[in-house]
Structure 1
Amino acid sequence: MRSVLQLRTPEVAGNNDQRSGLTSSTPHPDASRAEAPPKLRFKDPQIEMSHGAGGKASRRLVEGLFAPLLLSSDSSERLADAAHIEIGGAIVAFTTDSFVVHPLRFPGGSIGELAVNGTVNDLAVSGAKAHSMVVTFVLEEGLASSVLEAEVRAMADALKRAGVTMVGGDTKVVERGKADGMYITTAGIGSPIHGVHVDAKTVRPGDKVLLSGPIGDHGITILLARADLDFEANLNSDTRSVLPMIEAMAAHAAPGIRWMRDPTRGGLATSLNELARDCSLSIELNEEEIPMRDEVRGACELLGLDPLHIANEGQFLAIVSPEFADIALNAIQLTAGGEEARIIGQIRKEPANTVVVNTRYGGTRIVDMLVGDPLPRIC
């Protein structure tokens, strides 16, 4: 969700300067009326793996602890992956992300490539095109230099494909056994895509739900790469930049784009439940229309997982007004990698704050956001 903030540069005041009311020896006039500390709703006794899985526990952490303390008291926005910030009259898009995937390399990608694609995608679904990034590597003592070189090369290749420049960074080394080899943190800046305004508050009944391609590839690939399972699958992570598809859609249907999200941790179910709550509407999905590979479906059935909760790293969801839905879908399908895009559902008025799925067998079921952490450390 886009958050537009006005940044103001604080003025430097001398002893007799009344512009800010602050001097070196005089207390602030409102010091005796300091704000009461915000009431926190985060009551979990300790941090668990589920707090990083993108589901209900993650939301409790963000909304119950981070948002009350870190958001300004006059802000009605919630903390999100990316924000559009006004600086000196110009709008700049900004995002940050950390990558702790295990294993570092997996079929179809690796942590270095994932770090670039994930940052580009967070900006893209906020309605912005990435231009520059900075990166921090947290390296574990004993990591083979050949492993590090491979990830830096993977990152360089992904940057080139995305047309993004790396402009700075930092490196830290921690003791052996403290970082699973390597953690990567990125921050990216970009500029808004012309005509696109992404806001859950603009979503209306009748709007269509678009999905750019098959779900679950990344999460199941990671699971199979790290688990000793008797399950063979010709499956690769879907990690990629979704920006080309979003730019193509925007070129033809920008006025109709209401909201976008890349359904990473927690999958489609969590992303759409967050939207349903933010817009106070219902989202109806048609299970038969949701593209999914047989390998993903089979693995989920074998392991008792809901594919709607499985992470993706190269797909995006979009809510588009009905008059632009077919135009937007056609634009995505004509873009390389978007051939399997589908309209998978629509927005309803009731039941509010709920995601409902029409199943392949003629019934309906309510799908909640992810509870627990069936697949932690995936991105």
Structure 2
Amino acid sequence: EAGTTIVTGDTKVMGHGELDGLVLNTTGVALTSRLVSDCGLRPGDQILVTGTMGDHGLAIMATRNELALETTLESDVAPIHTLVRRALDVGGAGVIALKDPTRGGLSSALHEMAEKSGVGIIVDETAVPLRDEVRAVGELLGIDPLVSANEGKAVFGLRPEVAEGVLDAVRSHPLGRKAAIVGECVADRPGFVILDTGFGSRLLAEPEGELLPRIC
């Protein structure tokens, strides 16, 4: 499904009793005609997420805490290379930035993009797609879904003139049906991410510590 092949292996020497499972190591080289980094944003650029936020981290936390849920909360882990390619094909040079909202979730991804680009980012909280189960588990455990890890999503920075076209293209992909434009870059407060709640605005805090150990 991901179009990858395992071609070699690796050995690792561990002390007695230090290993209780399996050690994996992977190495790869990416070949591309165009590199899209996580910087280069300008005021007016639009922020697009390819789907619901926080699914992976809160699915793990719900399982770890043995929460009894009426519906199954599953990780969003998935290969997204074909989704990203579709966005790049439609958006062309208007696709300015690309980031994975994995460790630290959407909050961490946006803070890194804002800091590296020297812009502020205003996020419309009501536009961020969240599953009801994720929201409920987050409230129960006191975890903001915006700092919860994702494993099958991407965050795009787009020039305004291509934003709607890319959104339509991403939504036409099976993994992007819940995609949404959630924010805009501004010249004010460079390096900061501001959350517009609909009732006011506040700084979106950067994640502190780790909700999960490194398991993927």
Q: Please give the range of the TM-score, normalised by the shorter of the 2 chains.
A: over 0.9
Give matches, 1:153-164, under 5 Å: 161-164=1-4
Counterparts in 2 of 1:354-369, with a 5 A limit? 354-359=192-197, 361-369=198-206
Q: Deviations over 1:139-163 (max 9, x none)?
A: xxxxxxxxxxxxxxxxxxxxxx111
TM-score (norm 1): 0.54
- Structure-2 change in CA distance of 1:176 and 1:363 (3 Å): farther
Which AA in structure 1 matches 2:213?
Answer: P
Residue type of the partner of 2:181? I
* Within-5 A mapping of 1:71-90: none
CA contact (8 A) 1:257 1:320 kept: yes
Q: The residue matched to 1:202 in structure 2 has which SS?
A: coil
Larger Rg belongs to: 1
Pair 1:370–1:179, CA change in 2 (3 A): farther
Shift of the alpha carbon at 1:231?
A: 4.7
Gaps of 5+ in 2: none
Asked if the contact 1:219/1:311 (under 8 Å) is kept, the reply is yes
Is 1:185 matched up with 2:25? yes
Aligned: 1:250 with 2:88: yes
SS at match of 2:212: coil
Percent sequence identity is 38
- Whether the 8 Å CA contact 1:214–1:291 is kept in 2: the answer is yes
The equivalent of 1:167 in structure 2 is 7
Cα distance, 1:201 vs structure 2? 4.5
Q: CA deviation at 1:225?
A: 2.2
What residue in structure 2 maps to residue 276 of structure 1? 114
Of residues 39, 45, 58 in structure 2, which corresponds to 1:207? 45
Contact 1:282 1:347 in 2 (8 A): yes
Change (3 A) 1:323 1:197: farther
Q: 1:339 to 1:229 in 2, by over 3 A?
A: closer
Please state how far the C-alpha of 1:370 moved relative to its aligned partner: 0.8
Alignment of 1:305 onto 2:143: yes
Give the secondary structure class of the aligned counterpart of 1:371. coil
Aligned with residue 327 of structure 1, among 140, 153, 165: 165
User: Is this contact kept in 2: 1:217–1:236, CA < 8 A?
Assistant: yes
Q: Deviations over 1:333-375 (max 9, x none)?
A: 111211111101110111111000111x422111122112233
1:35-184 to structure 2, matched below 5 A, reads: 161-172=1-12, 174=14, 177-184=17-24
The answer to whether the 8 Å contact 2:39/2:114 transfers is no
Count of residue pairs brought into register by the alignment: 216
Equivalent of 1:371 in 205, 208, 215 = 208
Alignment match, 2:61: 223
Residue of structure 2 in register with 1:344 after alignment: 182
Q: Are 2:58 and 2:145, in contact at CA under 8 Å, matched by a contact in 1?
A: no
Amino acid at match of 1:333: R
Distance in 1 separating the partners of 2:131 and 2:138? 11
Contact in 1 for aligned 2:194/2:203 (Cα 8 Å): yes
8 Å CA contact 1:283–1:356 kept in 2: the answer is yes
**1:207–1:218 distance in 2 versus 1, CA, 3 Å:** same
Q: What secondary structure is seen at the aligned counterpart in 2 of 1:284?
A: strand
Aligned-residue offset at 1:322: 0.5
The match for 1:22 is: none
Higher mean displacement: 196-205 or 210-219? 196-205
Q: Deviations over 1:40-96 (max 9, x none)?
A: xxxxxxxxxxxxxxxxxxxxxxxxxxxxxxxxxxxxxxxxxxxxxxxxxxxxxxxxx
Q: Report the Cα distance in structure 2 between the residues aligned to 1:223 and 1:232, rounded to whole angstroms.
A: 16
The one-letter code matched in structure 1 to 2:203 is I
- Matched residue type, 1:188: G
Match of 1:93 in 2: none
Please state how far the C-alpha of 1:255 moved relative to its aligned partner. Answer: 0.8
2:110 is the alignment partner of 1:265: no
One-letter amino acid matched to 1:185: N
Work out whether residues 55 and 73 of structure 2, in 8 Å CA contact, stay in contact via their aligned partners in 1.
yes
Cα 1:301/1:245, change in 2 over 3 Å: same
Distance 2:104 2:82 in 1: 24
What TM-score, normalized by structure 2, do the two folds share? 0.93
